[in-house]
Structure 1
Amino acid sequence: MALTVESKPRPEGSKPKALRRSGLIPANLYGHNARESISLVVDAKIVERLLKAAAVNKTEIELSIPELQWTGKTVLREVQIHPAKGNPYHISFFATAKG
C-alpha cells in the first residue's frame, strides 16, 4: 500500500518553532535531484497519520510538492521525536529511483 503525502516548500526565513505552533512540521527531501535537498513543511495531522502507517526506510510514500510540480516515490529516512513531548518535530524523506 503506497501512502500519499502532500507538502509545501518551507517559507524562506521561517523559524521551525513558529511553523510547529501553526500546525506544520519541518521536513526535508533528499535525493530527488543529485545532492540538492528541498526544505519542506508538512501538516502535523498528516505526519501523525503517516507515522502510524509507515516504517522508517521501508514504506514507500508518494510525496507531492504541487508548488514545485514535483511528485515522486520516497521513503521516510528519519523522524525526530521531541524527547519530552513525544511528538514529531522534524522528518526527512529520501527519493527512491524512478521506475
Structure 2
Amino acid sequence: MSLSIECQKRPEGSKPNALRREGLIPGSLYGHDGANSVSLVINAKEAVNLLKKVSVNETIIEVQITDISWTGKALIREVQAHPWKRTVLHLSFFHIANTEAA
C-alpha cells in the first residue's frame, strides 16, 4: 500500500489560524535541501485521513509539492494537535534520502 499526500507551498505572510479556517493545515518539510526547510499547506481532510493510516516516525509516505515540482519520500516527524479537541494544528515532515546502494 502506497501512501501519498499532495501539498502546496505556504504563501508568504499567511496566518496559521486563517489557513485552518479555510480547511488547510500548516506544515513544514525538513531535510529536502540540506539545512533549508519549506513551509507547506495541506488539505485538512486529506491530512486527517492520512494520519489514520500512518505511525509517526515509522511510516514512509510520498510527499508531492506541486508549487515547486518536488516529490520525495518523507516521514511524519511531528503532529501538533489541540489538547482536548484533538484537531490537527501542524504537521512536520522529514525527507528520507534514497539509501539504496548502487
Q: TM-score range with shorter-chain normalisation?
A: over 0.9
Name the TM-score, length of structure 2 as normaliser: 0.94
Please list every run of 5 or more consecutive structure 2 residues that lacks an aligned counterpart in the other structure.
none
User: Partner of 2:78: helix, strand, or coil?
Assistant: strand
Name the TM-score, length of structure 1 as normaliser: 0.96
Per-residue CA shift, 1:27-74, capped at 9, x if unaligned? 000000100000000000011001100100111110001110100000
CA distance, structure 2, for counterparts of residue 3 and residue 40 of structure 1: 18
Instruction: Select the structure of larger CA radius of gyration.
Output: 2
User: Partner of 1:47: helix, strand, or coil?
Assistant: helix
Aligned: 1:90 with 2:98? no
Give 1:84 shift.
2.7
Please list every run of 5 or more consecutive structure 1 residues that lacks an aligned counterpart in the other structure.
none
**Map of 1:7 onto structure 2:** 7
1:1-99 aligned at under 5 Å gives the runs 1-98=1-98, 99=100
Q: How many residues align?
A: 99
Percent identity of the aligned residues? 54
Structure 1 segments of 4 or more deviating over 2 A? Answer: none
